[in-house]
Structure 1
Amino acid sequence: MASTDTLSGGAARPAVQRLSLGDLGEVMRAGFADFRRAPQFGLFFSAVYVFGGFLMLWVGAGHVTWTLATSLGFPLIAPFAAAGLYEVSRRMEKGQALEWGGILGIVWQERSRQLPWLGAIIVIYFLFWTFLAHMIFALFMGLSTMTNVTESYDVFLTLNGLMMIAAELVVGAILAFLLFALTVVSLPLVLDREIDFVTAMLVSLQTVRENLAVMLVWAGIIAVLTLLALLPWFLGLMIVLPVLGHATWHLYRKALA
């Protein structure tokens, strides 16, 4: 069953469909099938994350300023890497040729469309969370006697330390889900249709609101798989990221008429 809304100018937004938990299984299978059919593209775009992670560790090791600077590159690159995976799935869906020139050409063309604005929103969001995390740390640990955390984690086992960790986890989870709600549909939407990024984010929020339970499960799947993929030196991301990227495209196709 679909629900529709209209923009202020009277133009119809894409109709939001009702999703079920069974749809998540279908999109995961479809995402894995897309990756198996054209693994070279998935491996290429996921390599950006993996090698970027190693570069961030190497360049920023021991230097907070460099770590923050290199970390900012991830939110900027992420939408364009995702666009490449979406374009691969879109071409498979339409039976079009999978050519490096065409795929990378679409990604390059997105620089002058709505995708950079979404990347900028993600960067601002990242900076806000970094500031907020420091504020929470200062509120709980500002008056505590600090020790070298590389030698002892006892300071985090105090009452203030445990409260700080709990607050960071709760606030971080809420902000992460809000960012997820803003981008889960908007990223593939701006690639697929001529629509401004603000409207795309509103449609994404509407999709999550009308399918809250399903989207909570989907966000959990993404979080768990990504965390597990990070453990073996980011190498699991070489598989997990392209599968999730392709699956997100199929979820978008199911979510919007």
Structure 2
Amino acid sequence: MAPSMPRVNALTVADLRECLMLGLSDFARAPLYGLFFGGVFAAAGIAIVLGLTAWDMPWMIYPFAIGFPLIGPFAAAGLYEVSRRLEIGRPLDRAQVLSVIWAQRRREISWMAFVMLFVFWMWMYQIRLLIALFLGRMSFSTLEKFATIVFTTQQGWIFLAVGHVVGAALSLILFSITVVSIPLLMERQIDFVTAMITSVKAVIASPGPMLGWGVFVTIAMLVACAPFFLGLLIVLPVLGHATWHIYRRAVPVAA
């Protein structure tokens, strides 16, 4: 018998504010875990930026940095397990936490990872397409030249406008299907399609607060990426822990 669709609750701005405070509290209670998972995500960003530079594609750093936060929810999976253990009073044993994360490779969350990476790939592909459409005849061998063309020419302004509109649409889609789906998949035995539908229902139940949270997360992650991704050491764990508490309030445990 297939599991029933999880019930969702409407959230308020006050709920989100309290969840953010709980996220800060969880980070303060287990800072080493937060710094570790935030550091892994930041190191991945740094490695890709260095790779783009080595491959003579520094002009791709800006669109990559804009799209990189799209896969943040998956990177925060370990933080959800830490928050879950803090919530129920279980010890934060490093081997057990990592083993739970490793075990997800055999569960439905691996399909969610595929979905998120596919959307990220779509983001990077549409950037290259828009560059070919609007900036194809211009030369920008360095990040500085790319920035000059983008911010000082009419074609560059059109590229920015269209790119950000498309990016906003992709971000909205990804946010809607992932805001609670990954912690839901980690805790319950359901399929990834049901988890995505539940996540979308949670957004529909609280459109204003949820979309506001999505904008807040996007801005926070972009700011965190600015100092060479080092801000992610703090921002990612706080937002990851907060997301667990949002999931707890948005998708109550069945009676």
Same fold flag (TM > 0.5): yes
Structure 1 unmatched ranges of 5 or more: 1-8
CA distance in 2, matches of 1:197, 1:182: 10
**Aligned with residue 178 of structure 1, among 145, 165, 173:** 173
- Tell me whether 1:35 sits opposite 2:30 in the alignment: no
Q: Amino acid of the residue matched to residue 241 of structure 1?
A: L
SS at match of 2:157: helix
Structure 1 position 167, deviation (Å): 0.5
Q: Amino acid of the residue matched to residue 234 of structure 1?
A: F
| Pairing 1:74-153 to 2, within 5 Å after superposition | 81-142=75-136, 144-146=137-139, 148=141, 150-151=144-145, 153=147
Identity %: 41
Whether contact under 8 Å (2:45, 2:229) holds in the other structure is: yes
Whether contact under 8 Å (1:140, 1:164) holds in the other structure is: yes
Cα RMSD of the aligned pairs, angstroms, is 2.5
CA deviation map 1:115-148 (0-9, x unaligned) = 1111111111112222222222222233x44455
| Pairing 1:204-223 to 2, within 5 Å after superposition | 204-223=199-218
Runs of 4+ in 1 over 4 A off after TM superposition: 64-68, 74-80, 151-154
**For structure 1, which segment, 213-222 or 155-164, has the greater mean C-alpha deviation from structure 2 after superposition?**
155-164
CA deviation map 1:157-182 (0-9, x unaligned) = 22222111100011101111111111
Whether contact under 8 Å (1:79, 1:118) holds in the other structure is: no
- Tell me whether 1:51 sits opposite 2:68 in the alignment: no
CA distance in 2, matches of 1:152, 1:128: 21
Q: In the comparison of the two structures, how many residue pairs are matched?
A: 244
Structure 2 unmatched ranges of 5 or more: none
In structure 2, relative to structure 1, the CA distance for the partners of 1:64 and 1:97 (3 Å cut) is same
> What TM-score do you get using the length of structure 2 for normalisation?
0.87
In structure 2, relative to structure 1, the CA distance for the partners of 1:224 and 1:155 (3 Å cut) is closer
CA distance in 2, matches of 1:241, 1:90: 17
Which one has more relative contact order, counting CA pairs under 8 Å at least 6 apart?
2
Equivalent position of 1:26 in the other structure? 18
Equivalent position of 2:5 in the other structure? 13
